[in-house]
Structure 1
């Protein structure tokens, strides 16, 4: 009889830990309805390194996530939809850029607030954008630049 009681207690503890882990994973990935959000859009020349679920940050603080990325067939630009937490008002002259966490880190969407007293409405497109910068192309330009200097001497 005591073995059955022990099995029930251990099983309940394992089940509680599993439910806790699922709740934590849902909050960490943004799947839970932890707060209301509104959507903004932006169009990038290059959206390398970001995907659905990528963080949207302002001043290094996560304030949202990317919810959709599609190719606009008319402009050949990456149309990006991202959510921002309700209560965070973005000035209408703000910019959005794809930034890198470092040489080996991933990319994220960074909101750079402007100074306007007017704020973006939900669904508005942010006009001022800066796409991702390819580290490989920068290194190739650096290497090609050094070769040209060596050939000139």
Structure 2
């Protein structure tokens, strides 16, 4: 057994630090959170390129949820994302969802833009107004080749 009090104190500090890290990681990932703390919405995108399960859902740049599932709707051929949002955020039912980028080299996230409706979304509803991801490669190709849809043809 350890007779040195310094060894005991350092060991206790390491155990406390490990426990604190586990609690922090559990809060970040939402592990152990009750179902009443969250609600779920579905957003249907023409292109969901760049997002996947675990992608952030943000409102005004602040994370308020995550993408918890991605599926292909075989009838409409659109990507359907299940968004799990914090239960204390009440969004108007005309809120728009769009896939945004953090920058040229940054990752993508789902951005919610609230509307002005008097009524709020309820659990399980569908966001009607969505905008899919924009392909950076397609934009660069249009710029380089000069093929734009400006309506000017000779």
Settle same-fold status: TM greater than 0.5. Answer: yes
Shorter-chain TM-score: what band? 0.7 to 0.9
- SS where residue 28 of structure 2 aligns? helix
Find the counterpart in structure 1 of residue 13 from structure 2.
Answer: 13
- SS where residue 25 of structure 2 aligns? helix
Cα deviation code 1:67-97 (max 9, x no counterpart):
1111112221111101111121111111100
**Unaligned segments of structure 1, at least 5 residues:** 147-153
Find the counterpart in structure 2 of residue 47 from structure 1.
Answer: 48
Runs of 4+ displaced beyond 4 Å: none
The answer as to 2:22 corresponding to 1:22 is: yes
Distance 1:103 1:30, change over 3 A: farther
What number of residue pairs does the alignment pair up? 146
Provide TM-score, normalisation by structure 2: 0.86
Provide TM-score, normalisation by structure 1: 0.86
Distance 2:7 2:139 in 1: 60
Find the counterpart in structure 2 of residue 150 from structure 1.
Answer: none
